[in-house]
Amino acid sequence: MKINIPETNKPRLVILGAGFAGLILARKINPEDYQIVLLDRHNYHTFQPLLYQVATGGLEPGSIAHPLRKFIKRRPWVILRMAEVTGISIENQEISTNIGSLRYDKLILATGSKTNFFGQQHLPEFAMRMKTVPQALDLRSLILQHFEEALLTSDLDQRERLITFVVVGGGPTGVETAGALGELKKHVLPRDYPELDIRRMQIHLIEAGPRVLAGMSAQASEKALKFLKELDVNVWLNAPVKDYDGDTVSFSGTKTIATKTLIWTAGVIGALPEGFPEHAIGRGGRLVVNEFHQSLDFPNIYAVGDIALMQTEKYPNGHPMVAPVAIQQAGNLVNNLRRESQGRALKPFRYFDKGTMATIGRNRAVVDIHRLRFQGFFAWFVWMFVHLMSIVGFRNRMVVFVDWFWNYISFDRALRLIIRPFKK
Amino acid sequence: MKINIPETNKPRLVILGAGFAGLILARKINPEDYQIVLLDRHNYHTFQPLLYQVATGGLEPGSIAHPLRKFIKRRPWVILRMAEVTGISIENQEISTNIGSLRYDKLILATGSKTNFFGQQHLPEFAMRMKTVPQALDLRSLILQHFEEALLTSDLDQRERLITFVVVGGGPTGVETAGALGELKKHVLPRDYPELDIRRMQIHLIEAGPRVLAGMSAQASEKALKFLKELDVNVWLNAPVKDYDGDTVSFSGTKTIATKTLIWTAGVIGALPEGFPEHAIGRGGRLVVNEFHQSLDFPNIYAVGDIALMQTEKYPNGHPMVAPVAIQQAGNLVNNLRRESQGRALKPFRYFDKGTMATIGRNRAVVDIHRLRFQGFFAWFVWMFVHLMSIVGFRNRMVVFVDWFWNYISFDRALRLIIRPFKK
């Protein structure tokens, strides 16, 4: 079955994924040149950097999710369909999805990345992920459920296992999640559970490499480590995780921790649809592209953002998998498509790195802007401001502001809700 | 298995349900007199009057749900457990739940009401309910999904069936839901779906009796009917629903409407746990109580709110199943329990009716306060104010204010999100 889309005399350009890059492409590509089709499995855009705050009860999903149709409401030429891509036939220039198949003339992959377990067997079954809104909500419910369950048992080992939390991966997401759990332990849970001894709640951050925030400066890593310790987070470095069976995580050779909650933030891999030959795919499951975002093997297929592996002199292993890269690449591709249709020369992509930051609980953050490095309260303030301004939509910015303000003055997390799927 | 709760020398008082009544009881009953245990199946209190706004994308669940542990954080003596009650053994003074059994000395039912299908066979399977947060979220996703699906089909009958919505029941919930759908049709959906002819979207309100808002004045009913028609809602009166098979609803003898979405607000029944003998139960599945909220048959069992059938001269069929009754009954029972322990005489319950109101979309509402009756913009303003002030918690009030303000100035519903259960 074909997806019900009118045929026109313009070439059809299909964009897969409505993340940071996909949305820019859909909004900015010239509709005179192409019939533009955008596919995403959700009907909303997710502001991924704040997913961990949804998981820890600080924000509602609606504050970081934005309906896709709002983005394109003044662009009725963008044809948007909710669809899960199941594969691509490069030979037939056709995409297959759960709602039917679709021919393309040009294809832009903006599918981002997904959680990578590096071939571990049991982890996919038992570890919690945090790449989508439903996953973050599920984690929120699970954390709270484990506290409720801890009240029910008189077996102290089981109770401790229920209120022990292990975060794997010392990147920004892992550090921020562990920090948020630390804040819950310090300010929220002792008031909520006077029957439990919250001092027994343990938070572990396990990192395979020698430092946390390895992508940032040594100064930022050190300070982040200090901040985490102040929040009572046990940080394990040089500690690769071996296995997790839902009850016990083993790492660093023989070490084990008993826990019912393991949050995996240790790796991502390109979310590449099936159908590409192996020689087109590079490390991390990303599609190899030239500096014009074009697949080396298939010139009518482009890739931007996390899914694109663009190797340059400055980035021999590809660009970092972060939002600014995706945003800048999408912008350059939009311009190149316009240049192409005007018969002008294309411009190669150059990444302008604005800096990196991460927050570790209340009043604490680390910021690297080139040579400028600072940590602590001012860094935290900068982090808040930048993220607030990046959130899409006036309503969402207002609500996030209210929530952050409320969380700050009340030491509270208002959204400690266990909302589970509908049962009739 | 017994629920893990310490035995004390105080009599144990168990409260079932943390709605408007249950929360007042748990917070106000004197802990010197009783060990207080509160059970609810959710870890949050639901502000039911605004559930329909969650279902129609105007509010987030977190704005009308409030974590129960926040209510009791200064009352560490209240023992709260998340539990689904499966039955009561009156003989053994014991409650059974999904997390174990629990002995009680006194029991207060504050379990509210649940959807009643009056014995209809197919309706429970196909009709959407709106009594809980997960149900409201499920309905929100379904409404939006049906629009996305309508884009996929070229079969015009099927498309029309997908964008036809039937609300059954002309009470406040039904009227407010139909009005909210009318607003979506007028302001939101034409911008979201330029590919669909939104004029073909139909909204039907089917009521078995001769008028909508039968509990209010004739003037309010008439005006509500006029408001609904202005919002393009087809109202069917004297039209009992016969059947619904998921595709077609039949009503009023031979009439039918093809629809994929039927929202049932036509009736509720007391959510009475299993285990009561028939003679203790009155009409509507409610427990028969005297004016002191005490079961006529079992003096250590009380009931307040929707679940209680207290028949007085003024209310020979019991009190209306609305929040103010629940709140006032809970307050009176708290005082009577205190009076009892002090050896003072108990006071019978007297309901003070403050009035009724309902809103039908933007700028339109109807208000009855005894002889004072008004409709239109001022009524709408009063409705907004009263509901905003009734919402629990400063944060929630702020966020609802932001959302209403945003919805008003932008003619938008920001939360058009299809968030479906977690899939790994």
How close, in Å, is residue B43 to chain A by CA atoms?
6
Token output for A186: 């310090």
Domains and CATH numbers, chain B: 12-115+268-341 (3.50.50.60), 124-266 (3.50.50.60)
Contacts of A396 in chain B (CB under 8 A): 414
Which of the residues A47, A69, A125, A162 would you substitute to probe the B interface, choosing the one with the greatest number of B C-beta atoms within 10 Å? A69
Summarize the confidence of residues A1-14 as an average pLDDT: 94
In this complex, do A153 and B192 lie within 8 Å of one another by their Cβ atoms?
no
Confidence bin at A238 (pLDDT 50/70/90): very high
Nearest by CB: A417 against B62, B152, B403: B62
Could you tell me if A289 and A312 are in contact, meaning their C-beta atoms sit under 8 angstroms apart? no
pLDDT for the residue numbered B86:
95
**d(CA B365, nearest CA chain A) in Å:** 25
How many angstroms separate the CA of residue B327 from the nearest CA in chain A? Answer: 23
Catalytic residues of A: 176
pLDDT at A423 over 50: no
- With tokens 């001269």, the residue in question is B313
Q: Which of B271, B188, B203, B190 is nearest to B236 (CA)?
A: B203
Quickly state the pLDDT bin for A420 (edges 50, 70, 90): confident
pLDDT at A376: 96
- Least Cα distance to B206 among B140, B264, B261 occurs for B264
DSSP state of A294: B
Q: At a CB cut-off of 8 Å and minimum separation 6, what does B219 contact? A: B366, B373, B375
Spans of chain B, pLDDT less than 50: 422-424
| pLDDT, averaged across chain A | 95
List chain A residues with CB under 8 Å of B424: 124-125, 129
> A140 and A55 in contact (C-beta within 8 Å)?
yes
Backbone φ and ψ of B358, nearest 5°: -150, 150
A contacts of B99 (beta carbons < 8 Å): 152
Cβ contact A423–B134 (<8 Å): yes
> What phi, psi does B143 have (nearest 5°)?
-55, -50
Cβ contacts from A onto B, under 8 A = 159
Report the pLDDT value the prediction gives residue A414, as an integer from 0 to 100: 87
Q: Please tell me the distance from the alpha carbon of residue B348 to that of residue B342, in angstroms, as a whole number.
A: 17
Cβ atoms A373, A379 nearer than 8 A? no
**What is the band of A310 on the pLDDT scale with cuts at 50, 70, 90?**
very high
Alpha carbons B84 and B41: distance in angstroms, whole number: 5
CA distance A46 to A63: 9
Contact, A82 vs A43, CB < 8 A?
yes
Structural tokens at position B107: 């029991």
Contact call for A61 and B417, based on CB within 8 A = yes
Strand partners, B106: B13
Interface test with A, best of B46, B53, B147, B419 (most A CBs within 10 A): B419
Residue A346 pLDDT > 70: yes
Q: What is the model's pLDDT at position B119?
A: 87
Residue ranges of E strands in B90-227: 94-97, 100-103, 106-109, 113-115, 164-168, 202-206
Residue A421 has pLDDT above 60, yes or no: yes
∠ Cα A151 A156 A161 (to 5°): 80
Instruction: Please indicate whether, in this complex, the C-beta atoms of A423 and B42 are within 8 angstroms of each other.
Output: no
What confidence tens digit (pLDDT) does each residue in A135-163 have?
999 999 999 999 999 999 999 999 999 99
Question: Nearest C-alpha of chain B: how many angstroms from A132?
Answer: 9
For the whole model, what pTM was predicted? 0.94
Q: How far apart are CA A341 and CA B268, in angstroms?
A: 63
Q: Which residues of B are catalytic?
A: 176
CA separation for the pair B61, B277 (Å, rounded): 37
User: Looking at the partner chain, which of B73, B79, B406 has a beta carbon nearest the beta carbon of A192?
Assistant: B73
CB atoms < 10 A from the CB of B10, how many? 14
Report the C-alpha gap between A346 and A292 in whole angstroms: 7
Q: Write the residue in A60, A138, A423 that is nearest to B62 by C-beta.
A: A60
What does the alpha-carbon distance between residue A266 and residue A275 come to, in Å, rounded to a whole number? 26
pLDDT at B421: 65
d(CA A23, CA A334): 11
Neighbours of A38 (CB within 10 A): 25
DSSP H helices, A231-303, are none
Please check whether residue A346 is in contact with residue A340, taking contact to mean a CB–CB distance below 8 angstroms: yes
Q: From CA A360, how far away is CA A136, in angstroms rounded?
A: 18
- From B148, B191, B423, residue closest to A82, measured CB to CB: B148
**Chain A neighbors of B137, CB-CB under 8 A:** 419, 422
Best B8, B75, B416 member to test A by mutation, with max A CBs in 10 Å, is B416
Contacts of B394 in chain A (CB under 8 A): 406
**What is the value of ipTM here, to two decimals?**
0.93
B82 and A148 in contact by Cβ < 8 A? Answer: yes
- DSSP line for B195-213: TS-GGG-EEEEE-SSSSSS
The model's confidence at residue A121, banded by pLDDT at 50, 70 and 90, is confident
State how far residue B76 is from chain A, nearest Cα, in angstroms: 6
Alpha-carbon span A82 to A87, nearest angstrom = 15
Contact check, Cβ <8 Å, B62/A129: no
Beta carbons of A139 and A55 less than 8 angstroms apart: yes
Residues in chain A within 8 Å Cβ distance of B158: none
pLDDT at residue A424 is higher than 60: no
Q: Name the residue among B70, B414, B422 with its Cβ closest to that of A138.
A: B422
